[in-house]
Amino acid sequence: MRADDGPFIDRTKRKIPISVWVGTNDNFFPLKDVRATRDLLAAHGIKADLTEMKGRTHDYYSHSDEVNKMVWDFLKGNELDAEPKYERYKWQ
């Protein structure tokens, strides 16, 4: 995300918690960019957790059991307050 994406974040009706897991050696998503995204979301009222996996790369499959457990723990601890509702947005 870019800093100027803030107005788009502010348009969200539900501030659904987000969690991101990233390897500290991920070549696809540099840690500084992921941290900036977390900070931008948080600055606009969205709970954004970040787990930095030391020494790891973008390779999810080598650690999928560990990551999947953390994902399920996050989801269980952040149950939505209402059923999801599809809504079409019209951007201008």
Q: Which residue has the tokens 């009706």?
A: 13
Instruction: Supply 59's token pair.
Output: 């390779």
The answer to whether residues 47 and 20 touch, using CB atoms and an 8 Å cutoff, is no
Please provide residue 32's backbone torsions phi and psi, each rounded to the nearest 5 degrees. -65, -35
What is the pLDDT at residue 71?
Answer: 96
What is the pLDDT at residue 79?
Answer: 87
The H or E element that residue 19 is part of is strand 18-23
pTM score: 0.81
Please provide residue 9's backbone torsions phi and psi, each rounded to the nearest 5 degrees. -65, -40
Residues of the chain with pLDDT under 70: 92
What is the pLDDT at residue 82?
Answer: 83
Instruction: Supply 82's token pair.
Output: 């209402």
What is the pLDDT at residue 19?
Answer: 96
What is the pLDDT at residue 87?
Answer: 80
Q: What is the largest CA-CA distance in the chain?
A: 42
